[in-house]
Amino acid sequence: MTLAVSRTAARTVVETADAAPVAAALPAVVGAALRVPLVTGERVEYANLDNAASTPCLEQVRDAVDELLPWYASVHRGAGFASKVSTRVYEQARDSVRRFTGARSSDTVVFTRNTTDSLNALARAVPRGTSVLLFDTEHHAALLPWRGPNVRRLRTPGTPAEAARVLDAALAECPVGPRLVVLTGASNVTGEVWPVAELAAIARRRGARTVLDAAQLAPHRPLDIKELGVDYVAFSGHKLYAPFGAGVLVGRADWLQAAEPYLVGGGATSLVTDHGDHLGVAWSRVPERHEAGSPNVVGVHALAVACDVLGRNWNRAVAHERALLERLRAGLATVPGVRELSLFGSGQDRVGVVSFTVSGQDSGYLAAALSAEHGIGVRDGAFCAHVAVHRLTGGERALRASLGLGSTEEHVDRLVAALRSLITEGPKVAYAQRDGRWEPVVDDRALPPFLA
């Protein structure tokens, strides 16, 4: 079918690049040359250093979506040829995700809206009475779905070795029965990589399963479910250069097959019968059981193409990020008052995420000034990980700079120089808070024409 060519074409492009010299370009992102207005009247190239929140779209993903759209139709239940094409695209996407995650042959691939949706789906599928253990500095997507008397939150330790000891001791005290350990691949606050394989081995030895929140790890490092030894993995397309509303939960099928879906409707049911005073429902098998409603075939296709493209470019992508991360951390260390946040210490392996505070400076004001005067996008606040940020800062909000495939040395250097200028010389314009957010008092920057 024509659409099968889309993913093949994407792979061909990457294979050609892999055969080229080491200096071959990284996969390109949409908007890399975007120029944004400043309050001073100039326009500059946008320095997107907010990739941990959401990544731009890969050009290859955009092209694949454009190729699909003329064929877009209902999935699974349509007899028309376009429906058959869309169904093929949707189902072959599971193969791309399997390759990307190193899934076991028996694992199921459930498409969701995002990481949050994936973890909520699993939280409602665990057997009754399951003991759940997690470290309390998780992202809210991994922290909040698990509630009740069987949930034990572990205080985040100071080192990876301590994390292993704390988890082992906690599991030893767990009641007999099903157990699940919730792990983070990389912190969305500090970027630090957790010792997932070691923690998963401890859980397995104690008879527990593990679910990995890979939202921040998947865009930056190769994933392999079998090598890590985890039972489930969840991540989002919008953090993986495929911002079209799809996520995924990959893992063991038995708990998901035994549980009723938490989102019910068409597709999740194989048969509904009328019994007068009630309806009889026979649920579909996994993965359809947990994919109720009209599937997001465009988002799923985008996610699959992103998985294919990244999977063939890891060496260059990781080297690019590590060089920029070293440059960013070294530069921030020279700025007066900057304190980098860390869970495990400055030497811990990390992905391209750095959070920091600036002594005597409000993070919201700095973020607003970096945008308005320098064309830099960073994140300020507590990053949907309030416990972690407040513990590391003593209750303050923080700034976060996060790198991606579209990040450059110039973006990093501009951020460092802009922070130093704001701290030592002050802003060029006045700022005030409106509805809790800092904004320039006078802001004549025009929005793009499509918003007019």
Q: Ramachandran region of residue 126, left (φ > 0), alpha (ψ -120 to 50) or beta?
A: beta
In tens, the pLDDT along 168-221 reads 999 999 999 999 999 999 999 999 999 999 999 999 999 999 999 999 999 999
- For each of the domains in the chain, give its residue range(s) and CATH number, in order of start: 35-56+314-443 (3.90.1150.10), 65-311 (3.40.640.10)
In this prediction, residues 253-259 reach a mean pLDDT of 97
The pLDDT score that the predictor gives to residue 137 is 86
Q: What is the pLDDT of residues 340-373, one digit of tens each?
A: 999 999 899 999 999 999 999 999 999 999 999 9
What is the structure's pLDDT at 452? 76
Checking if the pLDDT of 4 tops 80, the result is: no
d(CA 393, CA 377): 22
Distance CA 41, CA 59 (A): 30
Q: pLDDT per residue over 40-61, tens digit each?
A: 999 999 999 999 999 999 999 9
pLDDT at 22 over 60: no
Candidates 57, 174, 307, 384; catalytic one: 384
pLDDT grade for 11, boundaries at 50, 70 and 90:
very low
**CA-based diameter of the chain, in Å?**
76
pLDDT in tens, 81-98: 999 999 999 999 999 999
Give yes or no: 174 in active site.
no
As a whole number, mean pLDDT of residues 105-131 equals: 97
Closest by alpha carbon to 110, among 308, 280, 267?
Answer: 267
Please tell me whether residue 189 adopts helix, strand or coil conformation: coil
Q: How confident is the model at residue 19 (pLDDT cuts 50, 70, 90)?
A: very low
Instruction: Give 21 or 343, the one with higher predicted confidence.
Output: 343
- Report pLDDT for 272: 87
User: Is residue 321 very low, low, confident or very high in pLDDT (cuts 50, 70, 90)?
Assistant: very high
Helix (H) or strand (E) holding 386: helix 386-393
First CA to last CA across the chain, in angstroms? 41
Instruction: Please answer whether residues 399 and 363 qualify as being in contact, where contact means their C-beta atoms are separated by less than 8 angstroms.
Output: yes
Cα distance between residue 411 and residue 162, in whole Å: 36
Question: The pTM is what?
Answer: 0.93
- What is the C-alpha separation between 201 and 392, in angstroms, rounded? 28
Of 12-16, 213-217, 231-235, 394-398, where does mean pLDDT reach its minimum? 12-16
Given this model, what pLDDT does residue 24 score? Answer: 67
Q: What per-residue confidence (pLDDT) applies to 146?
A: 94
